[in-house]
Chain A
């Protein structure tokens, strides 16, 4: 059942060439173009955040001062954290692949509010520029968590950064609102909730968190700003305030925020597992309900960041148990993806290599998360490199793996061309190996008792720091290779044709790259999502054949 086509041709007209000129991009309402613009912006912020990460690793190569002083180090990790969290990880998958694919996957022409979508892009750009400028100019040294009273007392200029993040938050809220409305109102006729592709579910769950949690971040940032400018004293014990109130408010947003980072990644992985095992997920409903479960239970666990803050003993126990509940949903997903491989037809290509990396990092990142949610164990690990390694595994490593899996899986969809597959797999192995080499030593550093945010450290920590820095340079090198071959493929890659993977994802029912209106005629999705048990009705072409 395969149609051999000599050499697939690029569709004559598609969203990339339908209109021409920079102006047509800057004023576009097309969700696909906005997704691509977000992709470009996010690659810039990722590059910036990554450069600071490498600078930090270089400084930590030796105890004492290596390349920068203590103040510069404190500023560099603040910059790294703020950029990576708010300017890369939180918007990464929803604004790029979410924007590009969500309407395609539900058979819609665009998102519900195309103009708002563009506004959300510009808000992001304005906020990002404000934030980066403010950090460079004001030299903020508070860390990305802005803990009071340090953030209200430090001599560095915190105010513009707070405002920058505040603006970026609005972009997040608007995107979330847009996606929720789109999923509710613009699904193709007959597409019930239990026939939604899993990526759509993931973006939907993420959007709910974005809309519910981000306003709390906005409020707490404003309160810190008020505290600095007017001196309201809400968080200042000298004026009767409480610094712990800040932590409660901040983590009420920031814990759900880690699910904003990882849920879309889980959606990408669900799609990729299915596409590259050519297999229905062994339990669609488990993947759906665990997504919804994470989105809601994730709101009830913030207190596990405060086990050693003097929080009440009963409170700590409660938050510990609630954190165990949210971990179950992740465990469920891992079991489901692994069992989905059973009786599949598994293709070890680049996206699937990243899938394996994702599952590895999610498993160990998740289990170390459960470990630090155990109250007594957290007494030792809290605020050490163990926590640094844990959240880099899960919210950075796993999210990045998903981002890269998505980037390689949907690169032909977005640009109509393939990348060199052998180079892709090789680089994926290098990236995964580099990532583990960077952060595995950090788990051990945490066990040894090395606290976070140390510009200088006692000498017996050095060997593990050297290993970690070596891993980071491998990682940096890997990203350079990816940038090189993807950049090359944009122009010179082999033409992909409509569906080079033979995937049953609904987004492949339109051309690659899709026409401006997404579909030439109203799409018909003849089978349930991720169904590989029946012959496809459309020809599958491309280098898979």
Chain B
């Protein structure tokens, strides 16, 4: 029955423990609405036929609703509304009270991407790995404007607000991939601010987590600042490393090691300071200012890199200091436990 209703109403699959609760109240409301709507429609239709106009100046008897009828008009809908309100509120309170054993994930919205960080582990961009069958608490904030973390299959939504943390939680009922959308208008690329929840079986999740941790240890960087890590991923994806190195050796293009804020001679004479503006410009219009000694062969990345990509690349380049890198100390988002 509920599966049939779900399909008739075009609802996505029920991917979380919350989803079946939200759908339950949805079905209750919509069934009542249609029964009452049909009753009103039918009454109106009967009246329309039975009391249609027979001559233009007909007089009609003065009919007044008795008090009991007025009382019924008030009390019956009020009863239903309050019942729905109470049932819904029970689930709402439940949805905002994370169980104490929940796995914490910090979620940061940023124009136009979602970043996820685990307290003891790695960070990730636009993909949130979670174990199925285990509650996951999300501590959500934003770097810039308001976003809203929305997983339709989980019936879950919570705004990401700059300067404060909001909290919600979910439990995926089975392994699978569930799209994440941004539900609060956040500017140009609002409709492309998409991510994915990947629910793994508990065993697979442990394997995934160990792998992530292993990589971190191998690279010797400790826990990475997620944006820097994102920059590395973007650089790999966009093919930057075909021409640029990160260890100080010159290649087809200048090395990124120590590039940030370095004075570079230009092939047209003069020098340029490799600040954020220059780095960004070089990605978009590489031929504008070419460093002396290099061929002007770099393609433009205009339109190929999102604003988020560029920010993370710049942050990545900034992190490549000339001296041996010191593992950055991790600044965890501060979260005050209140009434949990």
Chain A residues with a Cβ under 8 A of chain B: 1-2, 70-71, 74, 141, 143, 147, 149-150, 153-154, 237-238, 242-244, 277-280, 282-283, 286, 307-310, 313, 316-317, 320-321, 324-325, 327-328, 331-332, 334-336, 338-339, 341-348, 356, 359-360, 363-364, 367, 370-371, 373-380, 382-384, 444-445, 447-449, 451-458, 464, 502, 531-536, 540, 544-545
Contacts and interface: CB of A to CB of B under 8 A. Distances in A.
Nearest to B93: A313
Closest 9 CB pairs of A and B: A237-B163, A449-B152, A374-B88, A310-B166, A375-B92, A376-B91, A454-B191, A324-B81, A341-B47
A456 B191 contact: yes
A481 B257 CA distance: 69
Contact of B65 (A283, A309, A316, A454): A283
A345 B53 contact: yes
Given A282-B65, A453-B185, A309 B159 contact: yes
A544 B188 contact: no
Contact of A379 (B12, B48, B156, B182): B156
Contacts of B78: 324-325, 328
A441 B61 CA distance: 43
Contacts, number: 278
A268 B181 CA distance: 41
A243 B153 CA distance: 28
Contacts of A320: 85, 88-89
B159 A310 contact: yes
Task: Please classify the interface of chain B as helix (H, G, I), strand (E, B), loop, or mixed, using the class held by over half of its residues.
Answer: mixed
19 contacts: A143-B185, A149-B146, A150-B187, A153-B144, A279-B63, A283-B70, A308-B148, A320-B88, A335-B40, A339-B69, A341-B51, A348-B48, A363-B40, A371-B33, A376-B22, A379-B92, A379-B95, A449-B150, A454-B191
Contacts of B159: 308-310
B40 A150 contact: no
Contacts of B95: 376, 379
Interface string B159-180: 1011110110000000000010
Contact of B73 (A71, A335, A347, A455): A335
Contact of B191 (A70, A317, A464): A70
A540 B92 contact: no
Given A150-B187, A280-B63, A374-B85, A379 B56 contact: no
B29 A371 contact: yes
Name the residue among B43, B69, B96 with the largest chain A CB count within 10 angstroms: B96
Interface residues of B, number: 85
Nearest to B47: A341
Contact of A346 (B47, B90, B150): B47
Q: Which of B9, B33, B186 has the most CB of A within 10 A?
A: B33
Given A324-B82, A343-B61, A334 B53 contact: no
A429 to B, nearest CB: 14
B50 to A, nearest CB: 9
A70 B11 CA distance: 27
A339 B65 contact: yes
A375 B44 CA distance: 32
A345 B144 contact: no
A339 B183 CA distance: 41
Interface of B: 9-12, 18, 21-22, 25-26, 29-30, 33, 36-37, 40-41, 43-44, 47-48, 51-65, 69-70, 73-74, 77-78, 81-82, 84-85, 87-93, 95-96, 144-146, 148, 150, 152-153, 155-159, 161-164, 166-167, 179, 181-192
Contacts of B22: 376-377, 379-380
Given A280-B62, A370-B84, A243 B162 contact: yes
Contacts of B51: 277, 341-346
A343 B179 contact: no
Contact of A344 (B47, B84, B158): B47
B62 A531 contact: yes
Given A502-B56, A533-B61, A544-B57, 15 more contacts: A2-B56, A71-B188, A147-B145, A153-B145, A277-B51, A282-B64, A338-B43, A342-B51, A342-B63, A371-B29, A376-B95, A378-B88, A451-B191, A453-B190, A545-B56
A375 B21 CA distance: 12
Contacts of A464: 10
Contacts of A454: 190-191
A68 to B, nearest CB: 13
Q: Which of B26, B64, B81 has the most CB of A within 10 A?
A: B81
Contacts of A335: 40, 73
Of A70, A335, A359, A379, the most chain B CB neighbours within 10 A belong to A379
A336 B161 contact: no
A544 B57 CA distance: 8
Contacts of A321: 82, 85
B185 A457 contact: no
A383 B183 contact: yes
A343 B60 contact: yes
Contacts of B182: 451
Contacts of A448: 10-12, 152
B161 A310 contact: yes
Nearest to B24: A376
B163 A336 contact: no
Given A286-B73, A313-B92, A332-B73, A244 B161 contact: yes
B65 A336 contact: yes
A338 B44 contact: yes
Contact of A308 (B26, B60, B70, B158): B158
Given A282-B63, A376-B21, A533-B59, A346 B161 contact: no
Contact of B59 (A71, A283, A535): A535
A535 to B, nearest CB: 7
A141 B77 contact: no
B178 to A, nearest CB: 10
A515 to B, nearest CB: 26
A532 B60 contact: yes
A309 B161 contact: yes
A274 B325 CA distance: 82
Contacts of A277: 51, 60
A363 B37 contact: yes
Residue among A2, A286, A345, A540 with the highest chain B CB neighbour number at 10 A: A345
A171 to B, nearest CB: 28
A342 B61 CA distance: 10
